[in-house]
Chain A
Amino acid sequence: MEYTDRLIKGHGKYVADIALPEMLYMEVVRSKVARGNIVSVKGGISASDKNFYLGSSGEGYGEGNAGVKQPAFAEKYVSYYGQPVAAVYSSSKYAAKDLAESVEIKIEPLEPVVTLDQALKLPSIHPSMGSNRASEFTLGSEFAEKGDISVEDELYLERVVTDPLETRGIVSLYRDGVLNVWISTQSVYSIRDGLSAALGLPRDALRVMQADTGGAFGSKSAVYPEYVIASYISMKTGKPVKWTESREEHLMASRPGRGALGRLRLSATKDGKIVGLKGEVVVDIGAYGDMLGLNSPAWIARQLTGPYAIPNAYLKATALYTNKAPLGPYRGAGRPEASFFMERMIDLLADKLGIDPAELRLKNATESTFNSPLGLVVNASRQFLERGLRETGYWDMGAGKGLSFFVLIPAVFGGESARISVKDGRINIWLGGNAHWQRHELFVKKIVSEVTGVPEEYIELNKGNTGELGYGVGTWGSRSAIAAGQAVYRAALKIREMAEKEGKDVLSGSYDYSVMENMTLDPSMISFLLTVTSANLNEVGDPVIKSCTAFYDVGEPLSKTSITGQITGGLAQAVSEVLFESQTYDQKGKPEAQTISEAGVPYAHQLPKFRVIIAQEGKSGTLHGAKGVGEAGTVGGLPSITRAVESITGKRIRKLPVMYGTQ
């Protein structure tokens, strides 16, 4: 059965649905304070029995891990509310919960570091570190400001929890020297390599299989303490161990995104030519930093000039430790932060100069390939902007309009793998980037069908499995169409060639080919995003989004259904993030949103009709010509929707979500 039909019929197989004989159910006992010294733990398994330390895995994977490695069980002290302290297991899931309730943890609370100001002022949250500065970068070089006027502002994005509808989950089974893992994930390779590093098992002693994955949005790329603990319990007992995260746990102890501050200053000539950008980006990375967290401020800063030709830029970028759950990637992972910061500044400048924001953007859009002082190379963007403003009807819009114009940089780094196997008249495909049904199968089948001439109904895309394809990267950073698409295209070419050599029809032969396609970012892969939003006020005077139109450059469109769905999903996220969605922390560092409703995940009746115009501005320099799309809606939507709300309320917005009453 086609996979959509399988899910619509209720025949999906998610981690929670996996049943194995002798299954044990694990529950984790967590810290109920954000910071404190552990006095005693009575019951369950905890750091005093055995501990493991997590390296970097998932999105932002890289060698090394500066600072403090996150322990699987909090050791000596706790660093965030919800940090795992102990674990219990039972053959009944209800009984496991009862056992968890019986574990007694005594913690002597310490004053937590909650805000960025506190992080700078107070001693480090980790005794082994000198300060809470986890990483620091300088981008561009110092310059003397010229120009006639300048604007400056401080901008902030609250934390947002990813909240896929299926929470995290894992089944681990250690048997005959092999750790078998079934998991809800974006990358079986991150999970394999991360577990291998933490548990000290060789990679070939792990087999990681992706279960149906009910959304991820960034939070299912890395290895978490719970995965290590569940695997350890299986190694100890020889039985399968299942852990499924509660929503409450997800909201307190998964890895949320954003939590980024920008202090920026633009200088410009009086006719609106931007001549300089200065300032700093500060990111709250929570209690532990992997490579994603540590690099995030520099990654945000590097993108700031976006599609604009800004000749001078000088940025400082800092990551700070706080007593909160570690930062993770979320739908855009640094890209919406950059677009929000820059586009807010451009709107501010437009208001100060009294120029239409679209005119100001046209004046500054790149007219040829531009090497930014921050190290970003972008192609000419002005024509695309001109076309988009016409096609979206921007010029005819009335009060309450907002627009944004920015870039989407796909995370092609590391390339991607693919395997195609032809056997018994069918084609099976595995990708290094594991689809969690963002409709990858649509473009994958299309590519393979076009290259091999085999009709799509004979082609199947399989879930991630390290046993079927031994190497790969993962699904994140708007990379799948470009990187996985390229790999599968290459493999398809090879299969066609193999068949041609034998003088056979592809389906009548038996072939198997795996490829790892290396890639480096080039400007042809970067998309331009123009988003136009219209807002009005409801009967009580609150802003409501009326319409939102995306005019996005997707390169060669591989699947319009897939592209449209990805974009409307991102725009929905942008609407709720502007108006009401966030995770916040009280003065003691306790997460305030404890249910998915309190976090502000949006419902159908709270959202406008979205319109997606699939635009094409050249092709990427890949075999298929497509560009990235997964995160386009959040990158483009956030600043555009913010501006529309600002226009209708007449109050400058510096922080998201808007605090009702102050904005």
Chain B
Amino acid sequence: MKVKINVNGEDFASDVEPRLLLVDFLRDTAGLTGTHVGCETGSCGSCTVLLDGRPVKSCLMLAAQADGSRIITIEGISKGESMNRVQKSLSESKALQCGFCAPGIVITASWFLDKNENPDEGEIREALSGNICRCTGYQPVVDAVLKASKEVK
């Protein structure tokens, strides 16, 4: 079937199998491999992207369901070499280790901070409750997001 999905501002039109997962459309059809597959059951959030402005887990959606939507992936969350405030904070604090969760966490945290000014640590932890980081015990990540929340957008 034919689908057209706008990814990071660019239209990708393609004839796909109806069963194609959105995450595979992004990775294989659009060639954007920053969106990762971690658990395949919607638990870990490695595949998080913004769908019409809200973060979703792209491993639990068909590309067909996203037909006509606007998607922002990690590659499109900040332009070129630049970084948004969450990325900058994670970069400066060196909060991450293996980094596999990073794209999902950046997307979720950026969306959350856009909606919530001055969140406390507990609210940040709740906001990240759909994203797993297996390396850090979350403390360095939560600290970095908290720091980012105090930066100007």
Per the bound structure, the CA–CA distance linking A17 and B100 in Å amounts to 12
The segment from A5-13, A333-341, A372-380, A478-486 that touches chain B is A5-13
Interchain nearest-CB distance for B124 vs A (Å): 8
Interface extent on A, as a size class?
35 or more
Contact present for A604 and B142 (CB under 8 Å): yes
B75 to A8, Cβ gap below 8 A? no
The proximity string for A residues 534-548 relative to B, scoring 1 for CB distances below 8 Å and 0 otherwise, is 000000000000000
Of A277-285, A436-444, A648-656, the one contacting chain B is A436-444
In the bound complex, residues from chain B placing their C-beta under 8 Å from that of A8 are 83, 87, 90-91, 96, 99, 102, 106
A642 interface hit (Cβ, 8 Å): no
Measured CA separation A5–B103 after assembly (Å): 11
Closest to A18 in B: B33
- Main SS of the interface on chain B? loop
Closest to A572 in B: B137
Report the bound CA distance from A605 to B19 in whole Å. Answer: 34
Q: What's the least CB distance linking A165 to chain B, in Å?
A: 4
- Interface 1/0 per residue, B14-36 and A, CB below 8 Å: 00010110000001000011111
Q: In whole angstroms, how far apart are the Cα atoms of A11 and B35 in the complex?
A: 10
Q: B32 near A10 (CB under 8 angstroms)?
A: yes
Q: A10-B103, A213-B98, A437-B99 are in contact. Are A247 and B39 (CB under 8 A)?
A: yes
Tell me which of A10, A438, A570, A607 contacts B34 (CB under 8 A).
A10
* Set of chain B residues within 8 Å of A3, measured between Cβ atoms: 99
Let me know if A7 and B96 touch, CB within 8 A. Answer: yes
Residue B68, interface by CB 8 Å? no
Which chain A residue lies CB-closest to B128? A604
A16 to B38, CA, bound (A): 11
Interface string of B112-153 (1 = CB under 8 A from A): 000000000110111011111111111111100000000000
Q: Which of A128-136, A259-267, A309-317, A593-601 contacts B (4 or more CB under 8 A)?
A: A593-601
Are B39 and A4 closer than 8 Å at their CB atoms? Answer: no
Q: Please indicate the chain B residues that have their CB under 8 angstroms from the CB of A213 in the complex.
A: 98
Asked if A102 lies at the interface with its beta carbon under 8 angstroms from chain B, I say no
Tell me the minimal C-beta distance from A556 to chain B in angstroms. 19
B38 touches A165 (CB 8 A): yes
Interface-located stretch among A299-307, A413-421, A453-461, A560-568: A560-568
Q: Does A94 contact B (CB under 8 A)?
A: yes
Give every chain A residue within 8 A of B134 (Cβ-Cβ).
163-165, 215, 217, 569, 601
Residue from the list A9, A14, A570, A604 in contact with B36, Cβ < 8 A? A14
- Apart from A214-B36, A596-B39, what are 10 other A-B pairs with CB-CB below 8 Å? A8-B96, A12-B34, A16-B36, A17-B27, A214-B98, A247-B38, A437-B99, A597-B43, A604-B131, A605-B125
Residues of chain B whose beta carbon lies under 8 Å from any beta carbon of chain A:
17, 19-20, 27, 32-41, 43-44, 46, 73-75, 78, 81, 83, 87, 90-91, 93-103, 106, 121-122, 124-126, 128-142
Top 6 closest pairs, chain A to chain B, by CB: A10-B34, A7-B99, A214-B100, A572-B137, A10-B74, A568-B137
Report 20 cross-chain contacts, Cβ distance below 8 Å, ordered by A residue: A4-B99, A12-B102, A17-B27, A163-B134, A165-B134, A214-B99, A215-B100, A215-B135, A247-B40, A247-B41, A436-B97, A438-B97, A565-B135, A565-B137, A566-B97, A595-B41, A596-B132, A604-B128, A604-B138, A605-B125
